[in-house]
Structure 1
Amino acid sequence: MKKRFFRFAILPLLAGILVGCAELNIGTALRNDPAAPGPVKIGVIAPLSGGNRFYGERMLDGVQLAVEELNNGRGINGRKVELLVRDSRSEPERAAELVRDLNDAGIVGLIAGYSSDEVLAIAPEARRHSLPTLVPLATSSEIFAGNPFLFRNTFTGREEAKALAGYAWYWRKLLRIAVLTDAGPRGGYSREIGREAVRSFTALGGTVVRAAEIQTDDPGLEAVLRDVLAAAPQGILIPFETSEAALLVRQLREMGYQGLLFGGDSWDENRFLRTCGAQPGDCAYIAFYSPESDSPENRLFRDSFRRTFYRYPGSCEAQGYDAVKLLAIGLSGTRTLEEFTTNLLAVRNQPMAAGLITILPEGKLDRTVYINTIRPAGRNNPEPTGRTSKSFLLSKLDQFVN
C-alpha cells in the first residue's frame, strides 16, 4: 500500500496539531451522548477518487461491513450507526475541509486516513472539533505526536522498520544488509523505514554495508546497484512504493543477486506480485493482515466479507473494519475524551480481524504483524503469490532484546 508523505507539509501542519497542547483538558466533552435519541453519526474520510482511489475504496468496504454488523447487533450505546462518507479526492487540503463539513453534520467520531499527508492535514481539525479519530492505514510516526484525539490500529513506519530489522536478524540470521531508499519528493515513507531500519539493525549487532538513496528513473541507477552488490550484503531492504519496489526486485535479480530482498507493507499488493517477475527469488515483506489466519475473528470477517463483496479481503479492508470496531469500543458509554481514552486503553490483546491489538498510552500500541514470503510462478499459479510465513506481536521484539 502507498503511504505518500510530502515532507514540505510536515512543519506547518504539525505546528497546528501542537497549538494549545498545554491547555487541553483530558475531560474535554465530546458530542457523543450515550442517551441521545437517533443514530450515532460516524464520519469517514477516504480517497475515493484521485491517485489513491483503489485503496480508499477497499478501506471503505471494510468500514461498511463493520457498520452493518454493528447495526445488526446492538449498534453503539443501543443506537444504530449512520455512516457519513466523504471523498478526499486524494487531496490533503480537501480532507481538512471535510472534517469541518462532517462536524457540522453532527458526527461524534471519525475514521480517516489512507495516506499520512491526509491524516496530517486532518489532525488539527479533529482536535479543534473534539472528534476522536481512528487511523487505519497511515504509517508516518510524525502524525501521532501530541494529539490526544488521534488513535490508531496501524503500525508506524518506525515500528515497521523495527519488525523488518528483527526478522532479518532473529529469524533469517543475517549479519550484513544494504538499505535502498527513495530519494524522490514522495519518498518520505521509504526514507522513514530505511532510516529506522538502519538504526534498529545496527542496534541488534548487524552491519549495514551500504545505505543509498536512489531514484528508479536515474540513468546512473545500475552503477549504484552494482556498488551495493559489491559490498556483498546478505539481504537488501527496499521499502519503496509498490511499482518501484517491483521494478527494483526485477532489476536486482537480472543483475544476478541471489540474497534476500525484503520490503514494507507497500509490497502487499497484487500489483507488486504481477510486476516483480515470475521468479523473484527469496523475498519477504511485512503486512497488516493475513487471509490465512485461522482465528475465529478472521474467519468471521473473511467469510462475511466474501458473502457481501464476492471477493476475499486484504489489508485495507481488514484495517478499515477493525478501526470501526475500535471506535465503537471507545464511544461506548462515553461523554468525555478521558472516558473514550480509558475505554481504548482497556483493549488488551483484543482478537480482531487483523490479529491481536493492545492500545497503549501516549499513542502507542502493540499488535500482530505478518511477514509474507513469495511463492514463484508455476503450473498452478501463473503469477507469484504471497503467503504468510511468520506472525508475531511487536512486543516480542523487545522481549528478545531484553
Structure 2
Amino acid sequence: MNTPPSPSGSGHRDTSPVRLGALVPLTRPGWVEAGRHLLAGLELAAGEVNDAGGIDGRPLELLVRDTAADPERAAAAVDELAGLGVAAVVGEYHSVVARAAAARADALGVPFLCSSAVLDALTEERTDWVARLAPAQSRGWRIYADFLLAAGRDRIAVVTQPSVYWATGTRILREHVAPRGGTVLELDANALTPEALCDALVAHDASALLLLVGSPEPAVPFVRAVRDDRRLAELLIGAPAGQPEFAGWAASLGEDCAGIPFLRYLPERLGPLGDRVAKELRERLGEAPSFVAFEGWDTVTVLAAAVRSHGTDRAAVAESWSRIAVEGTRGPIRFSRAPGLGVWQWTWAPIQVVDRDPSEHDRFRVLHAG
C-alpha cells in the first residue's frame, strides 16, 4: 500500500508515519554483534530525522525484523513488510540473506537499500529496485589480496566453511594473486581439528592463513591453536570478513585478538559529521561503533532524503537512486551502475585493511587503504 499525495487545496495534511522495513540479524546463528551495531545506526538516524520534523511533518517509523541469518526468514519478512505498506526495505548484514531479501524485493517491486552485505551477485539479474552502500566483495577482497602480496604473503591458505560468500571470496583471492605468482590453498574447516589445521599449514609452508569461517566457532579455537604452535610463529592470520572489528572478538581471544588484519569500510579520518555520529553511536552502544553502525546511519539518511524529495511511492523511490546525493558519515554518497553488478551501487565506500594493535587492543592500526 502506498499513500497517495493529498489533493491540492484539500487542506488535509498527511501525518501518518512513513514506514521503512529494517532487516537485521538479532539472534543466532546470525552475527548478533554486527546486527546490534547496524540497528543502532538505523535507529539513531531515524531518531534524528524525527527530531528535525520528520519527512514533511510525517514521522519516520522503522519496522524492524530479525533475520537470524536465515534467507527464507528474510524473504518472508520482505513479504510481510510490503503488506504493511513500507516505502522501502533497508539493512541486512549477511550476504546470502541480503541476496534472498533483494530477490523478493525485486519480485514485489519494493525498493531495497542494502546496508552491509557485499556479495557481488546480490541479484541474479539487473534491477532498478535494489541499491547498496557496502562495496562489492570483489573490490574489497582484491584490495585485501594486494595487502597480502605487498607484505610478502603469497602462499595463502584459507580455512573455509560451505557458503557462497566464502567460496566467492576464495575465488576472488585465487584469481587476483595467481597472475602475481601467489597461490591459494583451500582447507575444509569442517574436516580439520585445530591441531590438524596447524599440521596442514606447516606441510604446505603457508605464509598466511585466512579465516573464512564463523565466529566465535570455529574461528576462536583455530586462532588459539595457530598462536600456540611454535612452528607457525611467522604465519600471518587474517580475517577479511571483519570478525576482529567487534568487541566480542577481543573478549573471546584476549591477547590473541591482535595483529589479525581485516577489511573495514571507513576513511582514515572521519569528517565533522562522522565525528558527531560516532560520538552519539558510542553513547548508544556503550562501546566504539564499528563501520557497520555507520552503514546503518547512512542507510536511513539516504532513504529519508529519497522519500523527502520523491515521495513514498515505491516506484518513485527506486527511480531516485541515480539522482541521490547525500553527505554520509564516510563521504558523499551517490549511486551508479558499476560494471558487473546488477544493482545501483555507491562507488565506493572507503576501504581499509586494519588490525588491532598488539600493544593496545582497543586501538586499530591502518595497514593498507584502497
Q: TM-score range by the shorter chain?
A: 0.7 to 0.9
Of residues 228, 249, 269, the one that matches 2:223 is 249
Q: Does 1:199 align with 2:178?
A: no
**What secondary structure does 1:345 align onto?**
helix
Partner of 2:305: 329
Of residues 192, 215, 225, the one that matches 1:218 is 192
**What secondary structure does 2:310 align onto?**
coil
Q: Displacement of 1:132 after TM fit? A: 0.9
Map of 1:372-387 to 2, 5 A cutoff? 372-376=354-358, 384-385=361-362, 387=364
**What secondary structure does 1:278 align onto?**
helix
RMSD: 3.1
Q: Can you list the C-alpha shifts for 1:10-56, whole angstroms capped at 9, x where unaligned?
A: xxxxxxxxxxxxxxxxxxxx947676822321111223334324433
Map of 1:244-393 to 2, 5 A cutoff? 244-256=218-230, 257=232, 258-264=234-240, 265-276=242-253, 278-279=255-256, 282-289=259-266, 293-334=269-310, 340=317, 343-346=320-323, 351-355=327-331, 357-361=333-337, 362-363=342-343, 364=345, 365-376=347-358, 384-385=361-362, 387-390=364-367, 392-393=369-370
Partner of 2:10: none
**Higher deviation after alignment, 312-321 or 87-96:** 87-96
Q: Displacement of 1:389 after TM fit? A: 0.9
Distance in 1 separating the partners of 2:171 and 2:202: 20
Distance in 2 separating the partners of 1:194 and 1:298: 33
Unaligned runs of 5+ in 1: 1-29, 394-402
Query: Does the CA contact (< 8 Å) of 1:96 and 1:125 recur in 2?
Result: yes
Query: Does the CA contact (< 8 Å) of 2:56 and 2:308 recur in 1?
Result: yes
Q: Displacement of 1:162 after TM fit? A: 1.0
Partner of 1:138: 117
Distance in 1 separating the partners of 2:104 and 2:76: 8
**CA distance change for structure 1 residues 306 and 178 in 2, over 3 Å: closer, same or farther?**
closer
Partner of 1:158: 138
**CA distance change for structure 1 residues 217 and 274 in 2, over 3 Å: closer, same or farther?**
farther
Distance in 1 separating the partners of 2:146 and 2:333: 19
Which residue identity does 1:245 align to in structure 2? A
**CA distance change for structure 1 residues 305 and 275 in 2, over 3 Å: closer, same or farther?**
closer
Q: Does 1:99 align with 2:78?
A: yes
Distance in 2 separating the partners of 1:359 and 1:241: 31
Of residues 92, 98, 104, the one that matches 1:125 is 104
**CA distance change for structure 1 residues 358 and 241 in 2, over 3 Å: closer, same or farther?**
farther
Partner of 2:64: 85
Query: Does the CA contact (< 8 Å) of 1:77 and 1:333 recur in 2?
Result: no
**What secondary structure does 1:324 align onto?**
helix
Which residue identity does 1:189 align to in structure 2? Y
Query: Does the CA contact (< 8 Å) of 1:285 and 1:371 recur in 2?
Result: yes
Q: Can you list the C-alpha shifts for 1:184-203, whole angstroms capped at 9, x where unaligned?
A: 34x43322212211111224
Query: Does the CA contact (< 8 Å) of 1:246 and 1:275 recur in 2?
Result: yes
**TM-score scaled by length of structure 1:** 0.75
Q: Displacement of 1:282 after TM fit? A: 4.3
Distance in 2 separating the partners of 1:133 and 1:32: 18
Q: Does 1:58 align with 2:37?
A: yes
Partner of 1:41: 19
**CA distance change for structure 1 residues 266 and 354 in 2, over 3 Å: closer, same or farther?**
farther
Q: Displacement of 1:285 after TM fit? A: 1.2
Partner of 1:168: 148
Identity of aligned residues (%): 19
Of residues 156, 159, 172, the one that matches 1:181 is 159
Distance in 2 separating the partners of 1:154 and 1:282: 24
Which residue identity does 2:273 align to in structure 1? E
**TM-score scaled by length of structure 2:** 0.81
Query: Does the CA contact (< 8 Å) of 1:289 and 1:369 recur in 2?
Result: yes
Query: Does the CA contact (< 8 Å) of 1:126 and 1:133 recur in 2?
Result: yes
**CA distance change for structure 1 residues 229 and 86 in 2, over 3 Å: closer, same or farther?**
same
Distance in 2 separating the partners of 1:306 and 1:277: 22
Distance in 2 separating the partners of 1:280 and 1:79: 46
**CA distance change for structure 1 residues 216 and 319 in 2, over 3 Å: closer, same or farther?**
same
Unaligned runs of 5+ in 2: 7-12
